[in-house]
Amino acid sequence: MMVQTVTGPIPLERLGRTLMHEHLFIAFPGAEFDPTAKFDRAAFIEEAVRRLVQLRTEHGVRSFVDPCPIELGRDAAVMKEISEKSDMHIICTTGFYFEDMGLPVYWRARTVDEIAELYIREITHGIGETGIRAGAIKVATGAPVVTAMEKKFLAAACIAQKATGVPIITHTQDGCAGPEQQKLFAEGGVDAHRCLIGHCCGNADPAYHRQVVDGGSYIGFDRIGITRFQPDEVRADNLATLVKSGFRAQIMMSQDRHCGWLGKFPRQVSAEEQARIEQLRSQGRYPPPYTYMFTDFIPMLHAHGVNQADIASILEDNPRRFFAGEALPQAAP
């Protein structure tokens, strides 16, 4: 069984230790017109390669999933170049962002079938004429509930998932609507274990996490180190609770970081949030280094009773099973 990377298909056994939700480059639609936005492409590639080589050589990471939405500056050719230079497997996705911060007007006007046709083409033929194929589908929804427009794109993702067999990786906003996504995937005929419900660590309530894993999906604790959304102590505590409750096989750990960014953030940041960012920055914690999950967070998990075998299984077995489409193992007694 094969998984599509930006340099071509590889056998699943070669995935190895995998970060399931990371980014190389982000540019919100319109940033390319901002004359104050400076971007040095060569310097960006050099920095991204440096970080990926460090993840590979110091922490054994072999694969890096970049679920960049189509309209957020996704650049498959750059991903391929970085993959080749860093010797890291990179998997990219097809699919758009959520209504509040994405969804180009052209595609909002298309039918479910037209959107599904685009997704299927990017998975089976390639992105544009690059020949680079998407290895998964991105679905994104906002808060507090999924909008009617987002439901249309989610329905298209369901059609593409069933037609191609690749899995779905989601974005949720503010720790909301994960169970609602699961219900919509079920209605679209997609098996729960083919879906990774992303950013669930944005919700501090263990009952929310329990609802997602009871629904049979993978659960993303994938913003590790982004402490302005959630303290990592809360993430570590909640992740350990899931492991102790027998749900180790459904957890995905990642950092949702980026190596390059064009322009400004397309949303006003409140004075309170800006102050928090400045405080973290003054402590050298914003942004944290790309290796933070390994150097800081995993030791926190150990302190909560999560052992090295648990970590190895979460980072290796779960991504492989997810891409393989295998059923979840029976929970340990």
Judged by beta carbon, residue 23 or residue 89, the one nearer Zn ion is 23
| The CA-based dihedral angle spanning residues 93, 190, 199, 261, taken in that order and rounded to the nearest 10 degrees | 20
The count of other CB atoms within 10 Å of the CB of residue 25 is 23
The count of other CB atoms within 10 Å of the CB of residue 265 is 11
Judged by beta carbon, residue 71 or residue 256, the one nearer Zn ion is 256
The count of residues interacting with Zn ion (CB under 5 A) is 1
**How distant is the alpha carbon of residue 67 from its chain centre?**
5
Q: How far is the CB of 256 from Zn ion (least distance, A)?
A: 4
Task: Give the single-character DSSP code of 64.
Answer: E
Stretch that binds Zn ion, among 113-121, 252-260, 291-299, 300-308 (CB under 5 A): 252-260
- The candidate with the shortest Cα–Cα distance to 122, out of 73, 69, 85, is 69
- Residue 99, interface with Zn ion (CB under 5 A)? no
Judged by beta carbon, residue 173 or residue 313, the one nearer Zn ion is 173
> Quick one: which of 167, 256, 297, 321 contacts Zn ion (CB under 5 A)?
256
Stretch that binds Zn ion, among 76-84, 145-153, 255-263, 296-304 (CB under 5 A): 255-263
Q: Is the peptide bond before 144 cis (omega within 30 degrees of 0)?
A: yes
Binding residues among 280-309 for Zn ion as defined by CB under 5 A: none
Judged by beta carbon, residue 196 or residue 212, the one nearer Zn ion is 196
Q: Is the peptide bond before 104 cis (omega within 30 degrees of 0)?
A: no
Judged by beta carbon, residue 150 or residue 256, the one nearer Zn ion is 256
Please give the residue ranges that form the binding site for Zn ion (CB under 5 A).
256
